[in-house]
Chains A and B, each alone.
Chain A
């Protein structure tokens, strides 16, 4: 029976799974198990838990994941091109360059639309209120 190179990788993955499972189970014979109510609570800096963390999440993370998906697919499409474009000389390069140009255009659009910005809290710099003097008031009135 022959084992391909990918078969060897599969064995690597199986060994890794096996290692973690064995390590966790083997430690079972050594470690204590004395659960109490407090131990089994979710950690929240020692305070009582307020609400569930499974709430609505900032949409930015989703947008980033979407942009990543587009880029990653396009990069994957470029890999075969990168391997062979030299055989076609300048023409081969230009075909890839057009593809890259379109990708860059999409990137510029996302940038312009502000999808790459992260929402920041508005900083209001502390400002001193000028005290209004009596002279200024009279000046304003006369003017």
Chain B
């Protein structure tokens, strides 16, 4: 574990934990956000037969760095009518909500911030922070667009949390654990041990599980998409009707923090889907480290596999953005309450029956 490594070097618990909690931020989220913003622009451009950013760096790969430099220099405007304390706290709350999730994400066998037994439950609870932050931002801005965006966002996020939790519940029922590291270790070996292929137990139940697991995966992917306010569920920041939703009034670094939190969230939900259904950090085909007898290589390989799977799902999110039109608010609520939740319920009961019979 990376924590023990730092503990040995520094000899202090507090210092070791501070260093390890800085790691995901600086070696993961910031580079990832820089890359993902560029990727998003490139993906959208190429899907629309455009080139996208081309000027800064080769094929515009430094464009996001330039954007960040611009955002640092931007004036920080707090409107006179805004509720100033709440206005300033909101970006902190949103970012804390999305960063706390990273504490429990197992990046690799040796790199998990906090190996708590309630991992997946903690992740769902921590992402609830974001709702409070968004609502606070919308309310404090004293802007009609912001408030509408925040209200829609809150209604959407809390509604779609239920199908997510129900799907997580089925996984807990099958595996009997809520610890994400244990869950990832269970899915070791080859890709047919992943939860989407019925889990690690070999038997008849495994093959019966497969169709239900695919339904589960689709439900959780749709609802996590809605939880991070991505198209087709982007009515909270629908730019053609609400300007920019709950962060309309924000500028400069505070806006950058909202943006960073959004991209961190995109990866976080992809990571949850990966950890639950696609073997977490496990390689689908075995490790080079085992092949060459170099065991120190395995955690690095696991990290690369995890990142690759996560980025793949982030790419699918971007892909969907240019494929599907935005849903209307009543369609959005109907999709959640009338389709996803009943289907998830039936799925839960069937899976429960299979496991006890």
Contacts and interface: CB of A to CB of B under 8 A. Distances in A.
Interface in B203-246: 243
Interface of B is mostly: helix
Interface in A62-78: 64-65, 67-68, 71-72, 75, 78
Nearest to A94: B356
Contacts of A32: 73, 75
B99 interface: yes
A24 interface: yes
A16 B333 contact: no
Given A16-B92, A19-B25, A20-B91, 9 more contacts: A8-B17, A20-B95, A79-B172, A83-B178, A85-B173, A107-B345, A111-B338, A116-B334, A119-B330
Interface of A: 1-3, 5-9, 11-17, 19-21, 23-24, 27-28, 30-35, 39-45, 49, 52-54, 57-58, 60-61, 64-65, 67-68, 71-72, 75, 78-79, 82-83, 85-86, 89-90, 92-93, 96-97, 100, 103-104, 107, 111, 116-120
22 contacts: A8-B17, A12-B99, A12-B113, A13-B99, A13-B100, A16-B96, A24-B91, A30-B73, A31-B75, A31-B253, A32-B73, A39-B77, A42-B141, A53-B143, A53-B147, A58-B151, A65-B155, A71-B341, A83-B177, A86-B356, A93-B356, A104-B345
Interface of B: 3, 13-14, 17-18, 20-22, 25, 72-82, 91-92, 95-96, 99-100, 102-104, 113-117, 121-122, 139, 141-147, 151, 154-155, 158-159, 161-162, 165-166, 169, 172-173, 176-178, 243, 248-249, 252-254, 256-257, 329-330, 333-334, 337-338, 341-342, 345, 348-349, 352-353, 355-357
